[in-house]
Amino acid sequence: MDTTQVKTKLPQCWQDLQDTLENGVDRVILFGPSGIGKTYAGMHIGNVEAGAFRLVCTEDMTNMEVTGSFMPDGKGGFNWLNGSALKAWEGNGVNGGRLIVDEIDKASGDVYATLLAMLDSPESASWEHPSTGRVHKPKTGFSAIMTTNVENMGELPTALTDRFPIKIRINEPHPDALLRLSADLRGFAVAMADAGDRRISLRAFMAYDALRAKLGEERSAVLTFGDRAQSILDAIQINKVGK
């Protein structure tokens, strides 16, 4: 692998995602190491003209962020504010948008149950507005991408994984994201993205890249990589042997 050239061919995982989205499958789980660009991909890859709406799951979140809630309007009354899932269903009013559900494995039980309903197949999915009584359905073109760091898909509930037939492991940063890094570091960012316990994120390489111009390689490595600075610099040195 050449560390100085931008790849013209998409890495396999990204090619798989592109092929999936371009050919009519609208429910995909992206899993793999963190900091590799899964959410970014969900927000930008494929048809997102009708908008992309992100939902970050935590144990403390409520259904408010999924479907919506009444909020005080400052005049003694309440207004309904749509949650991310409902926004994605409605999209731009003509076509449905994209819902990106981050860290699905961290969602609480009731949020998880609501998400199951919202992510059901278009024929079954529906939600009734609590005040207007209007029944909402996902507009044509609605798509959903879930991201998780869980490596074993068996750990996710079957009801959820059944709704998402395609599961793609993202193990390399997207080439577009790599372009923001100096050419000599791109190969390392790719190699270390999926290095298990010794993983180094793309963001860390970007920080090192920014620092080294002013502070020099050694100082930047110490600041960015801490105790691993010497071993990382040694590995970079070894890798330069053919250059």
Residues that bind other proteins (CB under 8 A): 1-3, 187-188, 190-192, 194-196, 198, 227-228, 230-232, 234-243
Q: Which residue has the tokens 């920080």?
A: 207
Q: Which residue has the tokens 């999926």?
A: 194
* Residue placing its CB nearer to other proteins in the complex, 44 or 203: 203
Nearest to 96, CA basis, from 53, 150, 129: 53
* Residue placing its CB nearer to other proteins in the complex, 114 or 224: 224
> Cα separation of 46 and 117, whole Å?
24
CB of 82 to other proteins, least distance (A): 43
CB of 192 to other proteins, least distance (A): 6
CB of 187 to other proteins, least distance (A): 5
* Residue placing its CB nearer to other proteins in the complex, 198 or 214: 198
CB of 199 to other proteins, least distance (A): 8
CB of 33 to other proteins, least distance (A): 11
- C-beta of residue 113 within 8 angstroms of C-beta of residue 120: no
Nearest to 91, CA basis, from 132, 39, 52, 117: 52
Q: Are strands 166-169 and 52-56 parallel, antiparallel or unpaired?
A: unpaired
Residues 6+ apart with CB under 8 A from 1: 187, 190, 191
Residues 6+ apart with CB under 8 A from 157: 112
CB of 7 to other proteins, least distance (A): 12
CB of 156 to other proteins, least distance (A): 23
Q: Are strands 143-148 and 98-102 parallel, antiparallel or unpaired?
A: parallel
* Residue placing its CB nearer to other proteins in the complex, 33 or 97: 33
H helix or E strand, kind and range, residue 158: helix 158-163
* Residue placing its CB nearer to other proteins in the complex, 120 or 194: 194
- C-beta of residue 215 within 8 angstroms of C-beta of residue 223: yes
* Residue placing its CB nearer to other proteins in the complex, 117 or 191: 191
Cα 65–Cα 70–Cα 75 angle in degrees, nearest 5? 135
* Residue placing its CB nearer to other proteins in the complex, 213 or 241: 241
CA quadruple 173, 175, 181, 182: dihedral sign: positive
